[in-house]
Structure 1
Amino acid sequence: MNTKITNIIEDLKALTLLEAAELVKQIEETFDIDASIASQSQAIVMPATTDNSNKNEIEEKTEFDIILEEVPAAKKIAILKVVRSITGLGLKEAKALVESAPKIIKDNTTKENSEEIKKQLEEAGAKVSIK
Structure 2
Amino acid sequence: MPLHRIYSVKGVFSPEDKKAIAEGITKVYSVLPKFYVVVVFIDTDLDSFYIGGKPNDRFVRIVTQHLARTNIGSEREQKVLDGIENAFHPYVRDRGLDWEIHIEQMERETWRENGLAPPMPGTDAEKHWAEVDKAVPFTKGEDARH
- Does TM, normalized by the shorter one, top 0.5? no
Give 1 or 2 for the bigger CA radius of gyration: 1
Report TM bin, short chain: 0.3 to 0.5
